[in-house]
Amino acid sequence: MESSSKGLLTQVTQFWNLLDDLAENNPESYEKFIQQQLKEGKQLCVAPEPQLCLQTKILKPKEKTLFINLCQWKRIPAPQSTTHPVPLSVGRPEDMSEASDVYTVIDVAYNPDVLQAAEKDQVKRDQLIRMAMKCIEQQLQFTLSNSYHIAKFRIKGSIHRMKQNLMRIHTVPTDLREQMRKELTLEQIRSSTVSNADQFPQLLLPQSQASGKTECLIEEISSTEIQVEMTRPAYELKIVADQNEKPLKIELIVELPGVNSVSLCDLSVSEDDLLIEVSEKYRLHLNLPEPVDTEMTTAKFIKEKATLIVTMPLV
Q: Which of 155-169, 185-199, 215-229 tops mean pLDDT?
A: 155-169
Angle at the Cα of 13 (from 7 to 17), degrees rounded to 5?
145
pLDDT digits (tens, 9 = 90+) for 105-125: 999 999 998 888 888 888 888
Of the pLDDT bands very low, low, confident and very high (cuts 50, 70, 90), residue 189 is very low
Which is more confident, 193 or 251? 251
pLDDT in the model for residue 45? 64
| 93 pLDDT more than 80 | yes
Provide the residue ranges of all domains of the chain, joining segments of one domain with +.
49-168, 235-313
Torsion of Cα atoms, 122 then 127 then 129 then 132, to 10°: -160
| Average pLDDT value for the chain | 76
pLDDT in the model for residue 78? 84
| 44 pLDDT more than 80 | no
In DSSP terms, 144 is beta-bridged to: 58
Percent of the chain past pLDDT 90, that is, above it, reads: 21
| 174 pLDDT more than 50 | no
pLDDT in the model for residue 40? 64
Ramachandran class of 18: left when φ > 0, alpha when ψ lies in -120 to 50, beta otherwise: alpha
Which is more confident, 210 or 276? 276
| 184 pLDDT more than 60 | no
Residue type, 237: L
User: What pTM does this model have?
Assistant: 0.48
Task: Report the range of poorest mean pLDDT among 1-5, 62-66, 209-213, 232-236.
Answer: 209-213
| 191 pLDDT more than 80 | no
| 42 pLDDT more than 90 | no
Of the pLDDT bands very low, low, confident and very high (cuts 50, 70, 90), residue 7 is low
| 176 pLDDT more than 80 | no
pLDDT in the model for residue 69? 94
Give me the CATH code for the 235-313 domain, please: 2.60.40.790
Please list, in sequence order, all residues whose beta carbon lies within 8 angstroms of the beta carbon of residue 119, skipping any fewer than 6 positions away. 125
Q: Are 182 and 298 in contact (CB under 8 A)?
A: no
Of the pLDDT bands very low, low, confident and very high (cuts 50, 70, 90), residue 314 is very high
